[in-house]
Amino acid sequence: GAVVSQHPSWVICKSGTSVKIECRSLDFQATTMFWYRQFPKQSLMLMATSNEGSKATYEQGVEKDKFLINHASLTLSTLTVTSAHPEDSSFYICSARESGETNEKLFFGSGTQLSVL
Amino acid sequence: GDSVTQMEGPVTLSEEAFLTINCTYTATGYPSLFWYVQYPGEGLQLLLKATKADDKGSNKGFEATYRKETTSFHLEKGSVQVSDSAVYFCALSGSRLTFGEGTQLTVNP
């Protein structure tokens, strides 16, 4: 089946530094990718939707200058948390699907646990 | 807006026990409903789905029925195994994919 690879699985960084998370589709062309954030014992919250070659669409309340999303190719999207602070500590998950596919064909990465000291 | 409410966890069962994880939803229109499973260290995987009222989704011994009258999509399995230990997410597909909070299931031998 389709695989989405997300790296790193976990990262610890100092406050004020930037962290990049990668999401790759390994065997299909991911025209659309989604980035979610999950707090402990809470649901996945959609942060943004990115389409290859276009600017990402951010959900209300998500700072686009804080969470930079790049989707420059059909197999790679990146989320950069800029000037990270302890409140950015969370579990980040990406998902991807091909053009024309519904959410039934949405594939997820294994997530990245970010801890900001 | 759309929302999904899941049974609070964690849930701990013995092998071969009966499993129910409750899920109720609020949505406009007629969304599709899903259950996803996340095994340790892996991404979410689609477990089963139902696209209209009274549809029953099933996979790997798990079942869930789309109940429009009670706006529910409870997940059931008659006899759980240790390998079923995972986090289970209920979700609906409206204008976007909306998830419940997830329920951690641990099955002991």
What are A89-117's pLDDT values in tens digits?
A: 999 999 999 888 887 788 999 999 999 99
Confirm or reject contact between B97 and chain A (CB < 8 A).
Answer: yes
DSSP secondary structure of B85-96: -EEEEEEEESSS
CB A7 within 8 A of CB A110: no
Confirm or reject contact between A73 and chain B (CB < 8 A).
Answer: no
| Furthest CA-CA distance within chain A | 41
In tens, the pLDDT along A1-29 reads 668 999 999 999 999 999 999 999 998 88
The span from the CA of A117 to the CA of A15, in Å, is 6
Residue of B nearest to A40 (CA): B101
pLDDT of residue A2: 66
Nearest 5°: the CA angle A32, A88, B38 is: 55
pLDDT of residue B95: 75
Chains A, B: CB pairs < 8 Å: 48
Rg, Å, chain B Cα set: 13
